[in-house]
Amino acid sequence: MSHSRRSAWSTYAALAIGLLALPFLLQAGIGRSWVRIIDMALLYSMLALGLNIVVGYAGLLDLGYIAFYAVGAYVYALLDSPQFGLHWPLWAVLPIGAACAGLSGVLLGAPTLRLRGDYLAIVTLGFGEIIRIFLNNLNEPVNITNGPQGICLIDSVHLGTFSFSHNHTTMLPGLTGPVQYYYLFLALTLLVMFIALRLQDSRVGRAWAAIREDELAAAASGIHLRNFKLLAFAMGATFGGLAGGLFAGFQGFVSPESFNLMESVMILCMIVLGGMGNVYGVVLGAITLTVLPEALRMLGDWQLNHLGHVIVDPNDLRMLIFGLALVAMMLIRPAGLIRSRRHQREYAGDRP
């Protein structure tokens, strides 16, 4: 008992050291751009964990999820940029963005409550597009979102005078902007994971799982379908809004283009690939699908270095390999990289 507990602790300690050292190793090893890629992977992990509450826990197929990311990003952008000359502090802006996203989750969820499966997917897809088109056109008659040009010169994520975008290499060698963002995003991703895990194994999580498995039986067991579906939409959207706000501060620029349907599909892919309903699987899926396309980009450099010229342009192949990888995954491990116990049976078909 104490031995296994000690070995568990040493595993956690090794993992923690590895995660803390990762950005420095990446900078020293394969290049500084990779820290930014990992930053994005963490943002996508938060997004995927949020969508996982809606799709993986409550079983509500939402294809317009990126809209909540957009709401969070635009709230941050409007309250922390020269657009309206506002520069609100982070502790106000992030919660407001997350709350606005959560509220829009309820507003968009409410009319879809009676829909299931395909129909729900189509309506949420439409809602996602509505938000994007709104952002695209809200520059007239009153200019709010600056239309398709987007909002730029957004303040970086900052706490007091400490800006996460500025290098602090004098404080610690190698402590660049992206590295600081990495720690911030890592902390928040761990927090979101913690919340997702706690929710899963609770009265609320069981109610969601019951709705996902059998709505009629769930209602007959006393679960208020409307309230718990809206709760799932709201929780998922809140995480989306949080990630959106961080994205706006991280990039310093937002435009409606970043929030198209393809992004929603991509986040759904991360969940399906990683293992729907499984928190660790979802994070693994998000990291894989963010890193893989970037890694495939390196194929071109490799050809240039070793063969002298580019025979096959990786940009042409990237999406093809990516697609093949997804198809192969679905055939080999249909329940995802790390399977959720609750979901296993659904993919097993008629096999006992």
Indicate the DSSP class of residue 336: -
Whichever of 23 and 102 has its CB closer to another protein, that residue is 102
Site string for another protein, 144-183 (x = CB under 8 A): ----------------------------------------
- CB atoms near residue 343 (< 10 Å): 21
33 binds another protein (CB under 8 A): no
Judged by CB under 8 A, the chain residues 215 through 234 that form the site for another protein are 216-225, 231
Q: Of residues 56, 178, 205, 245, which one binds another protein by CB under 8 A?
A: 205
199 binds another protein (CB under 8 A): yes
Give 253's strand partners.
152
The secondary structure of 208-259, three-state, reads HHHHHHCHHHHHHCCCCHHHHHHHHHHHHHHHHHHHHHHHHHHHCEECHHHH
202 binds another protein (CB under 8 A): yes
Compute the least distance from the CB of residue 203 to another protein, in Å. Answer: 5
Binding-residue total with another protein (CB under 8 A): 31
Q: Of residues 166, 168, 206, 297, which one binds another protein by CB under 8 A?
A: 206
Compute the least distance from the CB of residue 212 to another protein, in Å. Answer: 8
The answer to whether the CB of 11 falls within 8 A of the CB of 257 is no
Taking the C-alpha atoms of residue 111 and residue 343, their distance in angstroms, rounded to an integer, is 27
Provide the b/e sequence for 167-189 (b: ≥16 CB within 10 Å).
ebeeeeeebbbbbbbbbbbbebb
213 binds another protein (CB under 8 A): yes
- The binding site for another protein (CB under 8 A) comprises 195, 198-199, 202-207, 209-210, 213-214, 216-225, 231, 235, 341-346
